[in-house]
Amino acid sequence: MYGAEVAYIALVAADVEAAAKMFEKDYGLTRSTKKFDGRQVPMLSVGETALAIFAPGDPYVDGTPHMGVHHFALAVDDLENAIDDITRRGVAFETGKVEKSLDDGKRALLSLKATNGIRTYVSSRIDRAPYKGGFIERVDHLGIMGTDNPICVDTYCTRLGLELTGEQFDTEIQTPVEHFIYRNPRTERVVTHTRQSDVVANVHDLFILAGDWDMEIIQPMNTTKVYRASGEHAGDTMQDHGVVDQFLRTRGPGLHHIAFRVTDIDTHLSRLENAGYNMIDRVGRRGARLSRIGFIHPKSTHKILTHLVERPDL
């Protein structure tokens, strides 16, 4: 079985040092550094995993110009044996090449076709500072935009042994209602007519456990319309559907955002707003798995889209 431990989550930030200070000061994560090719990489421990932060164009993140969540790495004791075992399980690797990892370790990238574009490495273990704890309990999930949920279940769950912890169908239906009022000197008549309902947003979410957090893989289903999300205002199902569609059209399937588990979400959203963050959500709104969620605008987080999650254990 793989996925019992995640070595790290790789983020790409517009300003690496400023992002590391933000996660340390305002998010309360525990900071340390890791070595890679003679330089220091900021690492922020949270729960049972850690965030490693890189600049756009860094070769460790394939020279990508895009900010946000780039990849994560599943920790293994023996990389060479893991590569052989995973290959026997029917999961290919992207290049077959073993690359350098943090702390003089090694890593290999799973086939992007097999993971539906989710950049997933298998990596040697990495020592990290223990999380000291704070208002953030742990990473709740990584938000992922997908186009083929069945292949994700086959690769991650059936072949690699990660746990499918749940799924959700999120549908928004609009029903137009016409209201007629007729008046003349003798009478007034009111008629209400309901027209056929229209599915305006429909997504299928998968939740797959990796370490102490989930992959939330969001696949849009066929609908008659696509609503565009500005990113400037609190969202709803239609807005979120628009975000998924925009991302898939411009980038294809892959990692999109990182969410942190908290209690008393309204208090913490207010605290971040008072600290000067530009908020998409000022109070928690309904999210997946009976949660309340709130997004912080990526303009305030060095182009890394983050949000807070308060939810019951189901």
pLDDT digits (tens, 9 = 90+) for 237-277: 555 666 777 888 888 999 999 999 999 999 999 999 999 99
d(CA 275, CA 161): 42
Does residue 247 lie in a domain region? yes
Transcribe 216-266 into DSSP letters. EEEEEPP-S------SSS---HHHHHHHHHHHHHHH-SEEEEEEEE-SSHH
Alpha-carbon Rg of the chain, whole angstroms? 22
Strands of the sheet with 138-145, listed across from one edge: 164-174, 198-210, 213-220, 138-145, 254-261, 306-310, 292-296, 285-286
Which two structure tokens, joined as six digits, stand for 107? 């890593």
Contact 53, 21 (CB under 8 A): no
Please check whether residue 225 lies inside any domain of the structure: yes
Count of structural domains within the chain: 1
Query: What local confidence, expressed as pLDDT, does residue 228 receive?
Result: 42
- Neighbouring residues of 81: CB distance < 8 A, sequence distance ≥ 6: none
| Helix, coil or strand: residue 295 | strand
Give the number of other CB atoms < 10 A from CB of residue 258. 23
Q: Is residue 101 part of a domain?
A: yes
User: Does 224 have pLDDT greater than 60?
Assistant: no
Kindly state whether residue 1 falls inside one of the protein's structural domains.
Answer: no
Look at residue 61 and tell me whether its pLDDT is greater than 60. yes
Distance of alpha carbon 74 from alpha carbon 273, whole angstroms? 34
Q: In this predicted structure, what is the pLDDT of residue 234? A: 52
| Rounded mean pLDDT, 62-74 | 97
The answer to whether residue 26 sits within a structural domain is yes
Q: By percentage, how much of the chain surpasses pLDDT 90?
A: 74
Work out the average pLDDT over 103-108. Answer: 94
Residue 142: closest CA among 213, 202, 55: 213
162-206 residue pLDDT tens: 999 999 988 777 788 888 888 999 999 988 989 888 776 678 899
**CA-CA distances (angstroms) from residue 96 to 60, 121, 122, 158, 222?**
17, 12, 12, 22, 36
Q: Is residue 41 included in any domain, yes or no?
A: yes
| Host domain of residue 216 | 6-310
CATH number of the domain to which 96 belongs: 3.10.180.10
